[in-house]
Amino acid sequence: MFEVLVYLYENYWRPDACPDHVQLTRKLSAVGFESDEIQEALVWLDGLAEAAQTYTGEQSEASMRVYSPAELDRLGPDSVAFVSFLESAGVLPPSMREMVIDRASAVGESPLALEDLKVIVLMVFWSLGEEPDALILDELFVAPEERLIH
């Protein structure tokens, strides 16, 4: 599913640029994605679209997130730490954080791989028509061992 999401991010600059599900399914199949992978991604994207419609961005910046044991199990320590990093860097406001947690909870894997969480963060920005700044994009796309140290 995550490969499909990355493909959509790279090929459609915003969600409303994507064709309808039928046409998109055909395009994704033609590119080589498996049917079950496509359907899983489309269901996940429907949930993302729902979350984006209710996004207000009005939560207090001073709010503190306490994770339930089920959320901690689902996300895993690396993903929770990464979400905290993005919050402390000021690029993931509380309401976007909740979208990330909601969409991460919609994935069947436990704990969620950090690379998969990064795709989810990217897709949350994409769904809201926002682009993260260059440093955050670097953090989301480039593996730490591939970074150049200046």
Domain boundaries, the chain: 2-56+64-143
CB 42 within 8 A of CB 25: yes
> Which pLDDT score, from 0 to 100, does residue 68 have?
93
Helix locations, the chain, DSSP H: 2-11, 21-31, 35-53, 69-88, 94-105, 114-127, 134-141
> Which pLDDT score, from 0 to 100, does residue 32 have?
96
CB 83 within 8 A of CB 92: yes
CB 1 within 8 A of CB 37: yes
Please give the Cα distance from 92 to 84 (Å, whole number).
9
Each residue's pLDDT tens digit, 93-140: 999 999 999 999 999 888 999 999 999 999 999 999 888 877 777 777
Please give the Cα distance from 90 to 68 (Å, whole number).
23
Instruction: State the angle between helix axes of 114-127 and 2-11 in degrees (0 to 180), rounded to the nearest 10.
Output: 40
What is the mean predicted confidence (pLDDT) over 59-74?
Answer: 82
Percentage of the chain with pLDDT > 90? 63
Query: pLDDT at residue 7 above 60?
Result: yes
User: Model-level pTM?
Assistant: 0.85
